[in-house]
């Protein structure tokens, strides 16, 4: 069976091309490429064996059925952010990896699985513990596991963690306690041991947008700092260098268990092992061979690391520091520029954007990293023995943590650069070639300035706007500009961070009127983001009915539905607040999610409008008579890309097009800004077909 998997892994067209290139190079320069060819075959063989074992697991017999399964926990359970299921948020759940060892007291095996459990009892589980659970077995898109286990019942713990694991858990918990609260207290465990459990969603977003997330992902930098500190300390215990190196290696092994073996940790550990061995045997300490060995060792032991973006980022950042940083001048700019250039294609592929301010943010944060890592590490080790002394040490580095938090908050306010993955890959390749062959760091700086200028010229929104529709995915959020940083907001979308960023880009700081059309998560889930650092006047949310009016800054806002607060047909969509807004420059009808039974009751009550915020994300449930009455010049459809509902429907698009309406949809156009002047309109989109780059 594994032979078939091996053949499948090699005969894909792109692999055949790669194999041909390798063979040609091998024939020309045998010595240089023999090892490369062997590595290619070995890698294909290893991953083929793993895939074959996963694809032929006994778990596959239980797909879409429930089974009693014994699992040994492999990773710490992590709380997963609630997702929208239908129109509501799903229950919070915990996710972790494990090894399934026994199924229904029938099959004994050892196969990796992903567990999703909504019970809080799993939150305290530690690696190595064995649990017994009843779960629904489902196929998983995660290729490294054989199945996804969905657990809704209580989990039975059948074994306690080992004393060593319990000690590591005490150290991790002790550091979390000693670090205190607020963002600075949540930052320290992340920087020292990679524990981000205390970090808020907002703070994680700020760290990501500022390009500082790598600080809370234990990697080569942490290993370098800890290794240097331990080696320095060992000179007071051992006179012989080799003893110091052995003690350091043992200490780093325990450090891996403490911080958990993530992709970046494994890569850094393998590289550190090679360097320690080279130092002990006096065979030189060339970093590039060490990096190559680290990559090979990790991928051979766990071939799925080759598919892990964290591993790719770790390797690319290290390669950038080794290959490119020495060629960049001035030297203090070298590390962030080199890492950014090498990692840019992967960063854009993962997040959809690139932060030019990350270079500045990393330069500002760099002086605080070493004190936090060393002092925090000492505090973590002594926290189980002397919590008060650990708290005192944390107090010494709290100013450094505060500084990084301030840098992250400040730099995250700057726009990020969104480019197509191919474009950023091309730019990074050109810059890399120029630097490698011409060796002048000024080229990187000049190209960076050019890119920033191009981005500024194509910023969104550029200039004045009257109505904007935020790109919130599968949800709704529309903003009407009242100028002077004030605006009317209709719905908030599902994600607080997304709507907060959109309102920030639009410059909205005050909301005299907030309209929440109906209580579905895709319309009101982002409310905390709207309330962040903004003043809100009136809120319409289930407390108004047809006939309610408001006059704000020359705009007349009239509620057309619901007709009566007590009226309820059992469909929450039909309780949506539907409003018409009229002013000297434009008229607008925002319909929420009302469906044809309600739409038909609004016929002859609205008349023609300039802008129609299409009901229910452009679904096929539309009243064509009402649509003809509205006869909009612009139709806005707020919809998520590749959603499971089939929104927007082709019939709805065709009907609007037949009315000569300009159809704008957020899944294709991104965020939309419309400038209105005496019922004439100019449209801006954050995404354009020919756009080289755009701000997000």
How big is the chain, counted in residues?
696
Cβ neighbourhood burial of 678 (10 Å; 0-12, 13-18, 19+): exposed
User: Are residues 593 and 676 located together in one domain of the fold?
Assistant: yes
Determine the Cα–Cα distance for residues 568 and 161; give it in Å rounded to an integer.
54
Q: How much is the pLDDT for 5?
A: 40
Domain region containing 343: 327-354+419-459
Q: Are residues 410 and 438 in the same domain?
A: no
Q: Residue 689 has what pLDDT?
A: 40
- Say what the pLDDT of residue 540 is: 93
In a domain, 263, yes or no: yes
> For tokens 């009566």, what's the residue?
564
CATH of the domain at 63: 2.40.50.140
Mean pLDDT, all residues of the chain:
79
- Going edge to edge, which strands form the sheet with 486-490? 535-540, 510-515, 486-490, 478-483, 467-469, 672-677, 680-685
Say if 694 falls within a structural domain. Answer: no
**pLDDT tier, 691 (very low <50, low <70, confident <90, very high otherwise):** very low
Helices (H), 30-123: 30-55
Q: Which of 161, 176, 196 is the last residue of a domain?
A: 161
H or E segment and range at residue 479: strand 478-483
Cβ atoms of residues 532 and 205 within 8 Å: no
Residues 274 and 193 occupy one common structural domain: yes
Last residue of a domain, one of 161, 191, 207: 161
What are the pLDDT digits (tens) for 340-351? 677 766 766 666
- The burial class, CB within 10 Å (0-12 / 13-18 / 19+), for 526 is buried
Q: Are residues 568 and 523 in the same domain?
A: yes
Say yes or no: 111 and 20 in one domain: no
560 and 616 assigned to the same domain = yes
The answer as to whether 360 is a domain residue is no
- How many separate domains does the chain show? 5
Q: Do both 426 and 283 map to the same domain?
A: no
Judge whether 359 lies within some domain.
no
Domain boundary among 119, 137, 161: 161
Q: Which of 75-89, 183-197, 574-588 has the lowest mean pLDDT?
A: 75-89
598/610 same-domain check: yes
Based on the domain organization, do 232 and 273 belong to the same domain? Answer: yes
Could you tell me if residue 482 is inside a domain? yes
Q: Return the number of other C-beta atoms located less than 10 Å from residue 561's C-beta.
A: 24
Please state, for a pLDDT cut of 70, what percent of the chain lies above it.
Answer: 76
Distance of CA 414 to the CA centre of its chain: 18
Clarify whether residues 200 and 226 are in a common domain: yes
- Residue (of 223, 218, 358, 373) closest to 287 by Cα position: 223
Q: Longest Cα pair distance anywhere in the chain, in angstroms?
A: 94
Nearest Cα neighbor of 522 from 556, 587, 572 is 572
Distances in Å between the Cα of 574 and the Cα atoms of 72, 76, 444, 532, 539 are: 48, 44, 56, 29, 19
Cβ pair 491, 503 in contact under 8 A? no
Whether this model's pTM surpasses 0.75: no
User: For residue range 24-51, what is the model confidence (pLDDT) as tens digits?
Assistant: 545 555 555 566 666 667 767 777 777 7
- CA–CA separation, 638 vs 611, rounded Å? 13
693 inside domain: no
Q: Is residue 184 part of a domain?
A: yes
- Where does the pLDDT of residue 430 fall: very low under 50, low under 70, confident under 90, or very high at 90 and above? low
Higher pLDDT, 61 or 309: 61
Distance CA 491, CA 577 (A): 10
Domain annotation covers residue 595: yes
Please give the distance of CA 154 from its chain centroid, rounded to a whole number.
Answer: 30
| Joined tokens for residue 412 | 């995250």
pLDDT for 389 equals 92
Mean pLDDT on 589-610: 90
- Ramachandran quadrant class, 10 (left: phi over 0; alpha: psi -120 to 50; beta: rest): alpha
> Is residue 180 located within the same domain as residue 51?
no
Residues 539, 659, single domain; the answer is yes
pLDDT for 16 beyond 50: no
At residue 92's C-alpha, the angle toward residues 88 and 95, to 5°, is 130
In 10 A of CB 429, how many CB atoms? 13
264-271: average pLDDT: 70
């Amino acid at each position: 069976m594994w032979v078939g998997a091996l053949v499948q892994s090699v005969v894909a067209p792109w692999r055949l091309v790669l194999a041909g290139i390798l063979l040609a190079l091998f024939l020309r320069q045998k010595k240089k490429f023999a090892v490369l060819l062997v590595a290619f075959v070995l890698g294909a063989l290893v991953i083929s064996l793993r895939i074959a074992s996963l694809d032929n697991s006994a778990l596959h017999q239980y797909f879409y059925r429930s089974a009693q399964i014994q699992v040994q926990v492999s990773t710490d359970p992590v709380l997963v952010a609630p997702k929208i299921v239908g129109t509501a948020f799903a229950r919070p759940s915990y996710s972790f990896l494990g090894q399934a060892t026994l199924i229904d007291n029938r099959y004994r095996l050892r196969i990796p699985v992903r567990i999703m459990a909504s019970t809080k009892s799993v939150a305290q589980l530690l690696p190595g513990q064995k649990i017994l659970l009843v779960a629904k077995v489902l196929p998983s898109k995660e290729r490294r596991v054989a199945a996804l286990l969905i657990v809704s019942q209580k989990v039975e713990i059948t074994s306690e963690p080992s004393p060593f694991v319990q000690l590591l858990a005490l150290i991790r918990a002790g550091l979390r306690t000693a670090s205190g609260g607020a963002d600075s207290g949540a930052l320290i465990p992340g920087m020292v041991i990679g524990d981000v459990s205390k970090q808020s969603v907002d703070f994680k977003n700020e760290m990501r947008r500022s390009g500082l997330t790598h600080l809370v992902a234990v990697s080569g930098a942490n290993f370098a700092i800890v290794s240097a500190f331990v080696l320095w300390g060992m000179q007071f215990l051992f006179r012989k260098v080799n003893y110091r190196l052995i003690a350091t290696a043992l200490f780093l092994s325990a450090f891996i268990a403490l911080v958990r073996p993530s992709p970046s940790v494994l890569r850094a550990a393998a590289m550190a092992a090679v360097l320690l061995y080279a130092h002990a045997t006096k065979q030189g300490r060339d970093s590039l061979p060490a990096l190559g060995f680290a990559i090979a060792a990790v991928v051979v032991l766990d071939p799925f690391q080759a598919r892990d973006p964290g591993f790719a980022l770790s390797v690319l950042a290290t390669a950038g520091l080794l290959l490119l940083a020495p060629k960049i001048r001035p030297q203090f700019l070298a590390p962030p520029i080199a890492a950014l250039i090498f990692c840019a294609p992967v960063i854009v592929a993962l997040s959809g954007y690139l932060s030019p301010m990350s270079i500045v943010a990393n330069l500002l944060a760099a002086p605080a990293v070493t004190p936090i890592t060393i002092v925090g590490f000492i505090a973590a080790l002594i926290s189980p023995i002397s919590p008060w002394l650990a708290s005192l040490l944390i107090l010494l580095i709290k100013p450094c943590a505060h500084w990084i938090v301030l840098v992250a908050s400040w730099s995250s306010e700057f726009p990020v650069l969104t480019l197509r993955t191919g474009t950023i890959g091309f730019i990074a390749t050109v810059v890399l070639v120029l630097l490698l062959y011409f060796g002048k760091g000024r080229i990187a700086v000049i190209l960076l300035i050019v890119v920033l200028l191009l981005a500024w010229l194509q910023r969104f929104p550029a200039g004045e706007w009257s109505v904007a529709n935020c790109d919130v995915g599968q949800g709704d959020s529309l903003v009407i500009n009242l100028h002077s940083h004030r605006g009317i907001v209709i719905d908030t979308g599902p994600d607080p961070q997304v709507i907060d960023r959109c309102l920030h880009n639009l410059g909205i700081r005050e909301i005299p009127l907030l309209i929440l059309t109906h209580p579905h998560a895709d319309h009101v889930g982002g409310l905390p983001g709207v309330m962040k650092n903004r003043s809100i006047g009136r809120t319409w949310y289930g407390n108004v009915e047809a006939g309610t009016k408001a006059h704000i800054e020359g705009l007349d806002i009239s509620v057309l539905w619901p007709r009566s607060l007590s009226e309820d047909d059992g469909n929450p969509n039909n309780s949506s607040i539907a409003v018409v807004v009229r002013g000297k420059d434009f008229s607008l009808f925002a319909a929420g999610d009302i469906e044809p039974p309600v739409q038909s009751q609004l016929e002859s009550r609205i008349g023609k409008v300039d802008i129609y915020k299409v009901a229910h994300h452009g679904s096929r449930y539309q009243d064509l008579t009402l649509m003809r009455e509205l006869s909009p010049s612009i139709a806005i459809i707020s919809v998520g890309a590749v959603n499971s509902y089939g929104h927007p429907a082709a019939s709805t698009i065709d009907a609007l097009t037949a009315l000569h309406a300009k159809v704008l949809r957020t899944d294709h156009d991104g965020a939309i800004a419309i400038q209105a002047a005496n019922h004439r309109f100019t449209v801006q989109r954050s995404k354009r077909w020919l756009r080289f780059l755009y701000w997000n």
